[in-house]
């Protein structure tokens, strides 16, 4: 939304963004975009708190030409569901993946969703096949547009800083694997670290660069409460609590009988995500010729990581349309991803990456197999010609189709279509 707002404003449109209140935000105009803040939080399922009525009145009474809303399951969309029929302006919605579609807590919410979708003039999706667009098609909606994600040309049309490796004590001849994502347990850091640990790179030194902001330590009881809340039942939590005991006596197979999908639960022994990753990194760093780091870098340094590594690996459990894959392509960095969100489609669109086979469980989570991931990392590391082709194809595709300078024009065209239909 920042990309869209700032770029639309830059070409002469008047753009107002309705968003959450942030006490540290001191300006009401950012790069030409007017910011209107509302002290609202929550969603329809968890409950909404704050000045919901003021926000609804703003949308109903404000003088504008087109309304664009991004993402379900949050208040800027959910607060308007009771009054959608009263909004007479053209309405566009970007559903953004429906991450809670298989969560029992959201069952009633998604039963109501088709009726809400029908009230929009356009629905914009990031993928041609995913749970949100599949729902729209299932209910006969034809006001569908597909506009992919992308990467910012202002960030990725930069020179490679060849001092990056020396700054981070990475050997020039090392094969460097990287990923980017918050260390939550859902972005696959632990699975990638485990895969890297078992990789055989031969005599070549190798480095694993995990880039992600740390989310803080959590207790075992905090994680258990989160699981109970998210999945709405004590059976899953009971299996999670039983896991360490069953593993210890060699009866982990009982978890399968109880319906557990291997790898679906939290890290073994209830470790917080960061601890589970760091435990593996400690072992990796004892091996001669291996180096593994978990770091939180400034954005400019993250961009340079893309330009100075050899392979981007994405092992996330849940996604919609991963921006990091477009960023890898933008830097000419080959990527290896599990089939999460529309990663397979991004690999086909860009020609910049390949997909590692992985199962998707009943609630839509991708279950990463570290051994399969390791073997594919090894294969790619041993095929420099293939990596070079992926690099060239990804960068070329990004330049042609997936920079924000190109993508925002697609949004502008859809906005103008809606205006033309209203005028008729």
Mean pLDDT per segment of 10 residues, for the chain of length 424 residues?
95 96 93 96 95 97 96 97 96 95 94 97 97 96 96 96 97 97 91 96 96 62 42 42 53 50 39 79 94 95 98 96 97 97 97 96 90 97 98 98 96 95 78
Distances 263 to 15, 185, 196, 260, 370 between C-alpha atoms, Å = 45, 11, 17, 9, 10
Distances 178 to 230, 278, 324, 334 between C-alpha atoms, Å = 30, 15, 11, 11
Query: What is the crossing angle of helices 404-423 and 2-10, to 10°?
Result: 70
Give pLDDT, residue 260: 45
What is the distance between the alpha carbons of residues 123 and 94, in angstroms, rounded to a whole number? 6
What is the distance between the alpha carbons of residues 384 and 392, in angstroms, rounded to a whole number? 12
If one counts every other C-beta atom within 10 angstroms of the C-beta of residue 260, the result is 20
| Homologous superfamily assigned to 153-217+272-402 | Glycogen Phosphorylase B; (3.40.50.2000)
User: Widest CA span of the chain, in angstroms?
Assistant: 73
Q: Which two tokens stand for residue 39?
A: 């002290």
Kindly report the pTM of this predicted structure: 0.85
What is the DSSP code string of 299-366?
HHHHHHHHHH-SEEEE--SS-SS-HHHHHHHHTT--EEE-S-TTHHHHHHHHS-EEE---EE-TTS-E
The reply to whether domains 2-150+404-423 and 153-217+272-402 share a CATH topology is yes
Pairing assessment for the beta strands 335-337 and 206-211 based on DSSP bridges: unpaired
- Nearest 10 degrees: CA dihedral of 85, 91, 95, 96? -150
Four-residue CA torsion sign, 186, 110, 323, 397: positive
For the chain, the structural domain boundaries read 2-150+404-423, 153-217+272-402, 219-266
Give pLDDT, residue 248: 52
If one counts every other C-beta atom within 10 angstroms of the C-beta of residue 374, the result is 19
Cβ atoms of 48 and 79 within 8 Å: the answer is yes
Q: What is the CATH number of domain 2-150+404-423?
A: 3.40.50.2000
Q: Which two tokens stand for residue 279?
A: 């435990």
Distances 143 to 113, 119, 136, 242 between C-alpha atoms, Å = 15, 10, 9, 48
């Amino acid at each position: 939304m920042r990309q869209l707002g700032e770029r639309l404003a830059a070409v002469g449109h008047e753009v107002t963004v309705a968003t959450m209140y942030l006490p540290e935000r001191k300006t009401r105009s950012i790069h030409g975009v007017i910011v209107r803040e509302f002290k609202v939080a929550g969603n329809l399922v968890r409950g909404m708190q704050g000045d919901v009525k003021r926000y609804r009145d703003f949308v109903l009474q404000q003088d504008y030409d087109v309304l664009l809303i991004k993402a379900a399951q949050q208040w800027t969309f959910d607060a308007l569901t009771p009054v959608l029929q009263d909004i007479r302006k053209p309405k566009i919605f970007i559903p953004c993946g429906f991450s809670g579609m298989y969560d029992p807590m959201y069952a009633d919410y998604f039963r109501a969703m088709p009726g809400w979708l029908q009230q929009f003039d356009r629905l914009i999706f990031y993928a041609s096949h995913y749970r949100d667009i599949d729902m729209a098609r299932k209910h006969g909606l034809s006001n569908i547009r597909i506009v992919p994600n992308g990467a910012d040309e202002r960030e990725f049309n930069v020179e490679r800083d060849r001092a990056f490796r020396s700054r981070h004590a990475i050997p020039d001849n090392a094969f460097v694997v990287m990923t980017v994502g918050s260390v939550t347990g859902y972005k696959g850091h632990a699975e990638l670290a485990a895969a890297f640990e078992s990789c055989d790179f031969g005599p070549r030194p190798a480095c694993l660069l995990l880039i992600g902001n740390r989310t803080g330590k959590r207790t075992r009881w905090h994680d258990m409460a989160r699981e109970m809340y998210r999945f709405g039942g004590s059976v899953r939590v009971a299996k999670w609590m039983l896991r360490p005991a069953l593993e210890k006596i060699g009866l982990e197979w009982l978890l399968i009988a109880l319906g557990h999908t291997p790898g679906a639960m939290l890290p073994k022994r209830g470790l917080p995500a960061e601890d589970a990753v760091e435990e593996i990194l400690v072992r990796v760093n004892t091996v001669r010729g291996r180096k593994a780091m978990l770091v939180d870098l400034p954005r400019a340094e993250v961009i340079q990581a893309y330009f100075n590594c050899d392979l981007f690996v994405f092992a996330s459990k849940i996604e919609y349309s991963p921006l990091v894959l477009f960023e890898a392509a933008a830097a000419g960095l080959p990527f290896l991803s599990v089939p999460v969100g529309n990663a397979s489609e991004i690999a086909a669109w860009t020609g910049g990456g390949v997909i590692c086979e992985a199962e998707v469980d009943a609630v839509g989570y991708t279950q990463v197999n570290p051994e399969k991931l390791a073997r594919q990392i090894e294969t790619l590391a041993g095929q420099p010609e293939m990596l070079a082709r992926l690099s060239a194809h990804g960068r070329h595709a990004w330049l042609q189709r997936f920079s924000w300078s190109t993508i925002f024009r697609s949004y502008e065209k859809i906005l103008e279509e809606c205006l033309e239909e209203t005028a008729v």
